Every structure is written in C-alpha cells, then in structure tokens.
Chains A and B, each alone.
Chain A
C-alpha cells in the first residue's frame, strides 16, 4: 500500500515577500470593489496558511488588518498617495479574511470578507481628550450640515448643480460648536446658478463624482458654512475578471465608478483646477 500524504496546509511567515504580495493584491481587491466609504491600506498581516489545491496551484488563506485612509472610494488618487486616517481623527480599522488562488504564477481572489470598526472612544479620549468622535451618519445635525454645505456650495458654483450622493463621515465639534461632515456629490445636467427645481435635474450619463468637506457652525439666527469640494475626473473602469467559483463572495458587488467613457473636465480644465473653495 502506497502511503498517501495528507494534504495539509503550511504556515507562512506573515512578513514573507510573497505573503505581502498576496496581501497587497487583497487590499487592491477591497478598494476596487468599494462604492462608498474610504479606501483602506494594509496595516498588518495577521495569519497566512497555504493550502495545496487539486489538480494544481495553491490557495492562500489570509487574515489582514487594514486602516482607513483619507481618500474616498470614488477618489481616483492612487492608494500610495493617500494618507492614513490618524487616531486623532477617529481612525477606522478593517479586519479581512481572504482566499487567494495562486496558479501558474498568477494570483486570483476567490473570496473576501471584511468588517470595519472605528477605534474605541475611550482609546481616543485617553490620547486626545478634546478630539471630536465620529457621529452616526443618521444624526439629523449631520444631514442638515451636509444639506446646508451643499446648498452654499451650489449658490457659489458656476458649474453643474451638484446632488448629494453619500455622507461619508461626520463629527460633532464641541469648540467652537459645529458639525464637521464629509460627503460625496454627483454632477447633474442643470447649471447650479439657474436651478429652480432641483428635482428636475438628472445625473449625467457619464457619472461625475466629487468629494466635499464642510464645517457648519450654528451662530445666533444664522449658520456659518465653510465648504470645499473637489470634482473628480470621470474614470474609465476596466471590468476585472472574477473566477466563477461557487460560494465566492466579493466585498462589494459593483465597481467603484460606472464603466463609462472618460469625460473631459468642463472648459478643458485640469482636474486640479476643479478644486473649489472654501466658500464662506
């Protein structure tokens, strides 16, 4: 009787170059499938197991920790140029489990599962007692601040009327009493200064998104709004082939940006010239 060796896994050093290569591919996979929230960056590889696969290849079972960056998922800035969200800004961590197939020298993500968690309030306040904490996005003050900021921006904007897409993060600042909010917007077919009924404005067929940061302070009988918006150049998205493996799951189902043809910025402006603000 020929002894049949058991097909067990082998453990890898988590800082092994190949483990890191697989982890970076996994992080790219996360970011390429995000539609909302912020891009994440690799912080630590927690565990790596490599399983033999019949008839050929190997499957990497990977656990990684990620950190939220300041680049929104719709922001075309390369991840390498994105800053990690600092603890004082109430950092958010991701915990991800991946299965990645290595076959013929090629890596393919088979499955991905991530959970994200903000740092504990206790930890932040120990380090920085005055730092504002993240506020739930369904807080009415947050929604009102985003609406007020976008209205103020549209009133001063010479370009397309912008619609709110998603409130991405918010903090209630104690001193001076104000609401800080970050949100995404999309350009419509209306001119901002001519809009009478926003409900009649439609999103552009080639979706063009933007990202705004605003601080809205409640003053006596008035609001003081400071808002800056950046309109992203439309990005062509090349659909990525995914393996037809039963039970495979992606982090998010759809690409970050609609697979539309590229659109030039209005008036031939460069992307950097589309950064507008602050509007007071």
Chain B
C-alpha cells in the first residue's frame, strides 16, 4: 500500500534512535 512506501526507507539521524528496527525480522 502506498502509505508504507512513503516512509521507506526509515531515515537515520545521528544521535536519534533509528526507527527502522522493528521492521527487521530477527
């Protein structure tokens, strides 16, 4: 669906927790 791709890729900002983590299956 379109909404998820708008936020892809989860942007990394130094000093801020990266938001992409939960999407990755361990």
A, B bound = no
User: Which residues of chain B have a CB within 8 Å of any CB of chain A?
Assistant: none
